[in-house]
Amino acid sequence: MQDKEKFMMEALKEAKKAYNKEEIPVGAVIVRDGKIIARGHNLKETDNRATHHAEIMAINKASRRINNWRLIDCEMYVTLEPCTMCMGAIVASRIKKAYIGAMDELGGACGSVLNVLDYKFNHKVEVETGILKEECEYILKDFFKMLRDKKRRSKMKIAEIFDKKSIHTYIIIAVLVISISIAGLLMLKYQVEGEKNLPFNVTQISVISTAKGIHNRGEDNQWSTVLSQKNDIYFKIEKNSEYKKEAIIKKIIFNNFEITKESELGEIGIYRPSQKDCEYNYEEETIIKDSLEYSGGQFTDTEILEINNQGGVIGFSILNRNVGECTFSENEVIPSDGKLLKLANVELKEIKIKISFDMIIETEDGKKFRASIIFELPEESILEDGVSKQEIGLSDIVFKRF
């Protein structure tokens, strides 16, 4: 065996070290006076350094060995054609000659991709290729085959795991999808239908609308009447017979009032009862400013804002002041209800309003249920009959726990 082949075999031993570390198997040795003074193999992945090629590692070790960066009269044996970086380092370190095993058609800088030696440098490196070419090519091919096999085995192992667990996985996914769907449907159903088993139900909402006048004697035996239109709203609350647990009303609250008028006629106010049985005096102190709260008690007494803790009838009133005026002679019979509106030429659209508010039922055990309620009033019959009685539909009133 010639010396060239002997030293290339040593470079192949270095390449094998890289192979065992799953590095691309490239090895290099540097020879001086017939003796190896430095060895190196590819450590780019191990050290996470782009420059840690076999040639660079060997050059650095050789420089430390002889304590000189100039590697004059040194030869390098490398299993793969150096790249531009490594060929530049070989030139810069003044290596006399480079012996190369396999050529690198993708990155070689000694003729495969480009030839660094075609450029004019202050040092000329001799190059000889094809030293143990087949052996150097084999270790590279075997390495990449090993990587492909490993990758294929990994895929097969993953596929095998999934094959074993696929049925269980699909079942788990199906159960999760069904559970999420059911939960979503239940939430949607609750948003639409609300609480189905309230401890107390609102069984009736009634509105009685009419008008009243303030009469003032004028000249020539004439009477002047200033009109207000009023709407008394009643809520009947009863214990739910289907609710089997004990329940006691703590509070009934009305809040978040909003009133929309179709015309600018009149001045609207919302009033609490001033007497028992939802009677009103419409005084300043009975105006509801933010909310109206009834407390649960032994009896229902609207004057003191108390409802029987097992249910009762409570309410509030909406008064639209100064909606019209009419005059009468002393001998005329003056109506005392909504017919006054027609005599004053007040049209229904001028007194029509839309009211919205929240109603909250709170029980002693801390449960709270809220519903948003909206309706229009008064009805058209107020102009002809003087009084309109309106029953508000309960199907759209949905109580939800909060």
User: Hey, what are 42's tokens?
Assistant: 């590819």
**258 part of the active site:** no
> Counting beta carbons within 10 angstroms of the beta carbon of residue 31, is it exposed (0 to 12), middle (13 to 18) or buried (19 or more)?
buried
- Dihedral sign, CA of 77, 79, 81, 82? negative
Hey, which residues does 359 pair with through a beta bridge? 254, 371
For the CA atoms of 53, 58, 64, 70, the dihedral, rounded to the nearest 10 degrees, stands at -100
Task: Give 310's contacts (C-beta < 8 A, 6+ positions apart).
Answer: 239, 248, 249
Please count the other Cβ atoms lying within 10 Å of the Cβ belonging to residue 382: 27
How many Å apart are CA 27 and CA 56, to the nearest integer?
11
* Contact assessment for residue 69 and residue 89, using Cβ atoms and an 8 Å cutoff: no
- Dihedral sign, CA of 244, 250, 256, 259? positive
Which residue type, as a one-letter code, is found at position 113?
A: V
User: Hey, what are 166's tokens?
Assistant: 């696929």
In this structure, what DSSP letter does residue 43 have? -
Please name the residue ranges forming H helices in 103-222.
Answer: 133-193
Task: Out of 5, 14, 22, 55, pick the active-site residue.
Answer: 55
How many Å apart are CA 35 and CA 254, to the nearest integer?
102
* Contact assessment for residue 306 and residue 299, using Cβ atoms and an 8 Å cutoff: yes
The number of angstroms, rounded, from the C-alpha of 353 to the middle of its chain's C-alpha atoms is 39
Catalytic residues, by residue number, are 55
